[in-house]
Amino acid sequence: MSTSHVSRRQFLGTTAMGAAGIAAVMNPALAAAQAVGVKVGDLPDLTIKEVKVYATDLKGQKVLNGETGRIASVVTNSGIEGNYTLLNSIFHTGWDMRGWLDYAKGYLPGKNAWQLCSFTNQWDNRKGNFSHYAGVIDCLMWDIVGKAVNLPIYKILGGCKEKQRAYASSAHLANIEAYEADVKAAIDAGFTAYKIHPGRGQHASGPAIALEDGHIEEIRLVRKVAGDKMTLLFDDVQQYTSVDQAIKVGRVLDELNYEVFEDPIPTMRKDGSGNVLGPNIENLVTLAKAVKTPLHIGEFMPNMYMFAEFIKAGAMGVVRCIMDSCGGISGMMKVAALAECNGMELHPHNWGEAMELASHFHVELACPNCKWFEMPHPQTGQDRTYHKDRIRIDKDGYVPAPTAPGLGYPLDRDVMDKLMIRIER
């Protein structure tokens, strides 16, 4: 946990910015109206009248499991359309979007995007896994709200930054030589920080982690190649099943001044059949006490209501979150406020194409306790030809805030029309 000194003026200023974000989540219409200087009654009608999905042929672009690119569309009475990406299937268990359209068609028509907090919160489901459909719906609603007042979302959320420092987030590379080349490429591209993803983690590609040594050789090599000044992060994606092994790796990270030890052991305890037994808090607390490098935990939390228990126990040093299991942008803003009130940083997960990156980016720009933008490396890996803009770092290693309304990375309709296979209704 960060112990850096914060002055009273800084504390009051940053807390005010965090409070503005929560106020926007609770009353988007008021926040949007205030942001553009109009009355709530003058805002457009955002009653939802149509839900559909654009199915596109990505023509050789890199996509998960070779699936067709699918983009959700929600259209309001005023003609404003919200969009968000749908993956037919993604790696994490249960995060499957193939049934999203049928769910959304039965749930959304007639609802008003200005009142999104009334139908995207998941308080009634706080003891179970969050609906990943709801996270997509929340991001769609925020895209509509931003477009309705011609502002990027972070501005409505009380944005306190215009750029965010990025780290290059590696793929799960095949061997140690690949890491050496990847770090050098990241440095040449202008990155000032780099994260290792050893082995395949819980994903379907790449070699299994070498559990006998925990990829310590790669950890040492990357520090040697990167030099002492580059910030380094390490994420083994919950592959260590032994706390003792994780401690061994963590102490090497301490020695080499790594900044992050992310998801070293499973967040949740499971039985031999994979059934979840409960939080793995005790083992995470043991690990956190044994190493100095902060543990980044939360990406694999089943819902946002579990974060408080982990924070209170000291089972994480930095809060990690992902929109899918938090309930979208609204849920991540609540987790960010929880982290801030406990004096902790929040590091949202970033991966996928521009719309996925954007949903987390707006939270980072709106919250003073968010430090990083996780940029998939190489940067071109998240590009889709149907987006007009590309997300790139600047010469100083920062990602500039989007300027377009809503999620901020508009679709190129001419390109998308050429890629269209069908419109699902």
| Same domain, residue pair 290 and 229 | yes
Mean pLDDT of 9-25: 62
Q: For residue 190, give its domain range.
A: 159-400
| Same domain, residue pair 217 and 297 | yes
| Same domain, residue pair 140 and 228 | no
| Same domain, residue pair 25 and 174 | no
| Same domain, residue pair 109 and 183 | no
The model's confidence at residue 52, banded by pLDDT at 50, 70 and 90, is very high
| Same domain, residue pair 57 and 73 | yes
198 located within any domain = yes
407 located within any domain = no
What are 259's two structure tokens?
Answer: 């900044």
Distance of alpha carbon 295 from alpha carbon 350, whole angstroms: 18
At 43, which CATH number?
Answer: 3.30.390.10
CB 97 within 8 A of CB 290: no
| Same domain, residue pair 115 and 131 | yes
Mean pLDDT of 271-298: 95
Count other C-beta atoms under 10 Å from residue 242's C-beta: 12
pLDDT at residue 207 greater than cutoff 60: no
Count other C-beta atoms under 10 Å from residue 2's C-beta: 12
pLDDT, residue 1, reads 40
Q: Total domain count for the chain?
A: 2
Burial readout 193-205 (b: 16 or more C-beta within 10 A, e: otherwise) = bbbbbbbbbeeee
Distance of alpha carbon 133 from alpha carbon 26, whole angstroms: 20
361 located within any domain = yes
Contacts of 18 (CB under 8 A, 6+ apart): 158, 336, 337, 340, 367, 368, 369
The model's confidence at residue 201, banded by pLDDT at 50, 70 and 90, is low
| Same domain, residue pair 195 and 323 | yes
The model's confidence at residue 11, banded by pLDDT at 50, 70 and 90, is very low
| Same domain, residue pair 123 and 177 | no
Contacts of 357 (CB under 8 A, 6+ apart): 350, 351, 376, 382, 391
408 located within any domain = no
Q: Taking the model in full, what pTM does it have? A: 0.92
| Same domain, residue pair 251 and 395 | yes
| Same domain, residue pair 184 and 250 | yes
pLDDT, residue 69, reads 81
| Same domain, residue pair 189 and 316 | yes
